[in-house]
Amino acid sequence: MTELLLLDGLTRAGRAAALILAVALAIGWGLAALALHQQALASRTGGASLSPLGTLFADGSSALTAWPGWLAAVILGVSASRLRRGPVEPPAGRSSAGELSAAEVRAGLRREYVGARLILIAVSVLTVADLARLAVSGIAALLGVGGAGDGLPWMGVEVIGLGAATAALTAWVLGFRLQLARVGALQPRRANDGGGGSPP
């Protein structure tokens, strides 16, 4: 997982610091989201006209916000299954596969692997942030904070859907990693990496 999240170059202390920072930011977002929800509700109650973003914060989680994660999970799950069974495809680009050397194909696949991991990081951050929002809102609702419990069940459905999407995307990235390993593209070639020869 450290490789998938681009943390393999950090020391153990660096990884711990990154984890603590991620949790702190997620909790901060959970508190901010609750405050924005309460502010939007107060504005609506006072008769103010809300922007689309303000309306979204006032409404909170609902069926409208819960389904995207589940849809992404289904699409990514099917794609991950097909990836594991299918052949290695050349990297996307303006050049056709026949115009690329073996070294260029491997380099292109490595770039796509980095891009896939960056997307995984973004989706994981979104999931953790939404989980923190659920935790903060749930605790605030238990403490009797006004508006904290609005849409709480839908928020749970939303978080589980994002978690499923994150798991499906992780499976896809792992499948892609296996393909790279099969063609010797997982690690950069050395200085003598040319178009021919066997992979390292």
Instruction: Say how many domains are in the chain.
Output: 1
Q: Which residues, 6+ apart, have CB-to-CB distance to 3 below 8 Å?
A: 117
pTM: 0.81
Asked whether residue 23 is assigned to any structural domain, the reply reads: yes
Asked whether residue 93 is assigned to any structural domain, the reply reads: yes
**Burial degree of 34 (CB within 10 A; 0-12, 13-18, 19+):** buried
The tens digit of pLDDT for each residue in 158-177 reads: 999 999 999 999 999 998 88
pLDDT at 200 over 50: no
Asked whether residue 3 is assigned to any structural domain, the reply reads: no
Asked whether residue 102 is assigned to any structural domain, the reply reads: yes
- Taking CA atoms, 175 is separated from 68, 104, 112, 115, 141, in Å, by 23, 21, 13, 14, 41
Domain ranges, residue 58: 12-182
Asked whether residue 78 is assigned to any structural domain, the reply reads: yes
